[in-house]
Structure 1
Amino acid sequence: MNPRDRSLAVLVAVLWGANFIALDFGLGHFPPFFFAGLRFAVLLPLLFFVPRPDVPWKWLLGYGLCFGALQFAFLFVAMNIGMPTGLASLVQQASAPFTVALGALLLRERITPVQIVGILTAVLGMVVIGWHRAQTAALLPMLITVCGAFSWALGNLCARKANPQNPLHLTLWISIVPPLPMFALSAAVEGPGAGWDALATVFDSPTGWYALGGLAYTSLLATIIGSGLWTTLMGRYPASRVAPFSLLVPIVGFTTAWLVLDERPHPVELAAGAVVVAGVLLGSLKLTRRATPPGPLEPVPIRAT
C-alpha cells in the first residue's frame, strides 16, 4: 500500500474507533434492532441523487446483509446486554483474521505461514478474553460480538467481489438492505411501538439529544466516509492487506471509552487484547525474500546522490 492509502486506512480506524461512543449514545435511547435499521434508513433519501453502482445485485445485497444488517444487529444487541464499549471495539476486530482466513478459503488468496501464526495468535487472545468473561457470567455478549465480527468479514469479501468503480455509491446503496429486516425484528422482539416511541420522544430528554448526535456520527462519518474509504481500499488491495488496519480501532475505542465513559477494562482483558492486536498485526505482514547481497568479487553499484 502506498503512504496515502495507509493514511486513509488509519483515518478509517480512527473514525470507527470513536464510533463505538456514538453507538453507546444511540443505544442509550433506542432499542438495538430499531437503531440498527435507523442508522441506514436515514441515508435512503440520498439514493435519489446517487446512481446504483454497476455491480452484481448478489454482491450488493450480500454486502448490505452481512456488513450492514447482521454485523450491527449482533453488535448492538451485545452492547445492549452488557458488552463494554471499549471491549466491543476490540472483539469486533476478530473480523481481520476472519477476513484473511475466509479470503484464503473462498477467494483463494494466498496466505503465508506468518499470517497463519498471526491468526492463531489473535484467536488465542480472543479465547483468553472469552475465558475471563465466562468467570463473571458475561460470556454471551462477547460471543454475540464475535458473530458480528464474522459477519463483517463476510461483508469484506462481498465488497471485494463487487469491486465497484465508485465505492461510495456501493456504501450508500447497501442502505436499502438493513432497514426492513431490522425494523421487522424490532417489532417482533422489542415490541411494535418501542422504536417509534423512542423516536417520537427523541427531543424530550437528554438521552434523545445524545442519541441524535450518535446517529449523525455513525450514519455520516462512520458509514459514508469510513465505510466508503474502507470499500475503496478493499477493492484496491487484497483483503489480507487491508483488514489488519482495523487493529487500530480498539486502541481508539479503549481510549475514547476511558475518556468519555470512564470504562476501566480488567488487566487480563487488556493483556489478552494486546495479544489479539499483535496477532492481527502479524497476520498483516507480507514478507518478501531479501535480495542476495553481492559476492566478494562482484562490484557493488553506487547510487548517485
Structure 2
Amino acid sequence: MNLKSISLALIVVLIWGVNFSVIKFGLEELPPILFSSLRFFIVAIPAVFFIPFPKTSVWNVLGVGLFLGVLKFSFLFIAMKADASAGISSLLLQAQVIFTIILSMIIFKEKVSNAQLLGMIIALYGFGFFFFTVDTNITLLGIVLILSAAIFWSVSNVIMKQIKDVNLLHFMVWVSLIPPLPLFILSYIFETHEPLTLLLNSSIKTWISVAYTGYISTLVAFAIWGWLLKNYNSAIVTPFALVIPVIGIISSNILLNEKLNQVEVMGTILILFGLFISVLGNRIYTLVFKTKKRRE
C-alpha cells in the first residue's frame, strides 16, 4: 500500500473508533432503537433515489439489512444506552471476528489454522475477564447484548462473503433502506409514542451524533473501505480494523472520561493479542519462515 492508501485506512479506523463515543452523545437524549432507525433513515433517504440497486440478490440486501441494521445495531445501542461504556463496547464487538471464523467453518467448510485457533482461545480467555468485572463499565446484560450484536454482525459478514463484485457503497445505501421502518415501529411500541416531539426537542449535539453515525461512519467510511478492498487484497486491508477498539478505548477516555480498571485492562490486552494472532499469525509465521529459509 502507498502512503495515500495507508492514510485512508487509518482515517476509516479513526472514524469507526470514535464512532462509539459519538453514539453515546446521541443516546443521552434519544432512545436507542429510535436513534438507530434515524441513523439508517438519513443514509437511505434520499440516496436510494439516485443510486442504482446493487448487482446482487434482493435477499442479500434484506439479510444484511435485518442482521446488521435491525438486530446488530439495536442490541449494540440498547447496551450502550445504560449497560456498557463506549470503549468496552468497541472492544467486545470485535468478537465478530471469532464468530465469523466459526460460521465460515460450519457453512463454507473452511479450515481453521493453528494461529486462528490459538488466537481464538486467547481472545475468549480475555472476554472471560469481563464477566468478573461487571457493574463497573459494563453489566452482565451489556455483555450478553454486545456479544449477541457481534453474532448478528458475523451472520451479515457471512452473507456479504458470498457477494462478488458489488459496489459496497451502493450496497450499504440500499441495506440502510431496510431497518428504519421496523425499528421505528419497535421504538413506537417499546420506547416512545411521541418520537417527533423527542426529535424536535433534541439538541444540536444529538443531531451531530446522528449525522456523524449516518453520513460519516456509514457512507464516507464504507465508501473508502470499499475502495481499499477493491484496490488491495483483503488480507492487507482487514488487519487495520484491529486498531478500531484501541481508538475506541482512547477516544472514550478523552471524550467521556471513561477508564478501565486493572481486570478490564488485562482482558483488553488478551483480546487484542488474540485477535492479532487470529488475523496476522499465519502471515507473520510465513514471513519469518521464508526469511529464515533464505538465510539458510
Confirm or deny a common fold (TM above 0.5): yes
Pairing partner for 1:258 from 233, 253, 260: 253
Unaligned residue ranges in structure 2 (runs of 5+): none
Task: Give the aligned residue type for 1:281.
Answer: F
How many residue pairs match? The answer is 289
Alignment of 1:249 with 2:244, yes or no, is: yes
1:298 alignment partner in structure 2: none
Residue equivalent to 2:31: 31
Unaligned 5+ residue runs, structure 1?
A: 203-207, 296-305
Shift of 1:160: 2.2
Aligned mates of 1:277, 1:136 — CA distance in 2: 18
Partner SS state of residue 79, structure 2: helix
Q: Give the counterpart letter for 1:201 in structure 2.
A: N
Is the counterpart of residue 283 in structure 1 residue 281 in structure 2? Answer: no
What are the equivalent positions in structure 2 for 1:110-121 lying under 5 Å apart?
110-121=111-122
**1:181-200 → structure 2 map (5 Å cutoff):** 181-193=182-194, 195-200=195-200
Which of 74-83 and 221-230 deviates more?
Answer: 221-230
Report what 1:215 is aligned to.
210
The farther-off stretch of 18-27 and 152-161 is: 152-161
TM-score normalised to the size of structure 2?
0.88
Distance change (3 Å), C-alpha of 1:245 and 1:104: farther
Q: Is the 8 A contact 1:27 1:80 kept in 2?
A: yes
Letter in 2 for 1:64: G
1:244–1:280: 8 Å Cα contact kept in structure 2?
A: no
Post-superposition CA distance 1:44-88 (Å, at most 9, x none) = 211111001011111111111122221110011001123111111
Instruction: Return the alpha-carbon distance in structure 1 between the equivalents of residues 38 and 221 of structure 2.
Output: 18
Supply the RMSD in Å over aligned alpha carbons. 2.5
Shift of 1:277: 0.3
Q: Which has the greater radius of gyration?
A: 1
Q: Kindly report which structure 2 residues correspond to 1:63-102, keeping only aligned pairs within 5 A, or say none.
A: 63-102=64-103
Query: 1:209 is matched by which residue type in structure 2?
Result: I
Going from structure 1 to structure 2, the CA distance change for 1:239 and 1:107 (only over 3 Å counts) comes to farther
* Greater percentage in helix: 2
Which residue is 1:150 aligned to?
A: 151
1:133 counterpart SS class: coil
8 Å contact kept, 1:53–1:164: no
The 3-state SS of whatever aligns with 2:132 is helix
Q: Which residue of 1 aligns with 2:46?
A: 45
User: % of aligned pairs identical?
Assistant: 30
- Measure the CA separation in 1 of the matches of 2:232 and 2:153: 17
Partner SS for 2:55 = coil
TM-score under structure 1 length normalisation: 0.86
- Shift in Å, 1:17: 0.5
